Homo-oligomer: A and B are copies of this chain.
Amino acid sequence: MKKQESPIVYIVDDDPSVRRSLARLIRLEGFRVETFAQAQDFLDEKERTDPSCLVLDVNLPGRSGLDLQRELSSRGYSMPIVFITGYGTIPMSVQAMKDGAVEFLEKPVNDQVFLKAVHQAVEKDRQMKRQYMELKEIQQRLASLTPREREVLPLVVSGMLNKQIAFKLGMTEKTIKVHRARIMEKMEADSLADLVRLAQKGGIDFQKS
């Protein structure tokens, strides 16, 4: 395990004075800060494993804040966003919130309201990263299954008996037992109940015949 670092807040705003004042405010909260003048600069960075969030100006030169939001989510790379804007409209704010923004604030922002939103966004990111890690772990285990095992798994978690599964697949009950044991081992499930939950989180279908 990596040592627990303080969360990092990314600020994208074309106004240097805004960047400076927000950065100062955030640093006082004990967070790390990185600032960018344009959306593209932010996108060029890689590797963001620490808990983090994005403070984003809606009106940016070139790629707008809303564009960046969509770009990020289309990359399956969603980071909680706190929008700030000088000249926002209701449709803008509605669109931002629909796309999952944590908050949408008008300049000048109230410090307390802003910091509360940042804290909330960071917390949300923590949750999402935790979820994501768990999902990745489960999918990794699923990937270690052989084709046959992947075929048997959904039938097992659907509640079918070994005998029934064997019949459905035209095999012996004995064979199913072996597959089943391997599945339990590879998925690191220590009970059927466990396996059902793991399969569910991993997105395994299990409609009964």
Residues of chain A whose beta carbon lies under 8 Å from any beta carbon of chain B = 88-91, 93-94, 97-98, 103-104, 106, 156-160, 190-194, 196-197, 200, 206
Contact = CB atoms under 8 A, between A and B. Distances in A.
Number of copies: 2
Contacts of A88: 90
B194 A197 contact: no
Nearest to A103: B94
Contact of A193 (B90, B91, B98, B159): B159
Contacts of A157: 193
Contacts of A98: 97
A159 B190 contact: yes
23 contacts: A89-B90, A90-B104, A91-B106, A93-B93, A93-B94, A93-B97, A94-B97, A94-B104, A156-B193, A157-B193, A158-B193, A159-B190, A159-B191, A159-B192, A159-B193, A159-B194, A160-B191, A192-B196, A193-B196, A193-B206, A196-B196, A197-B200, A200-B200
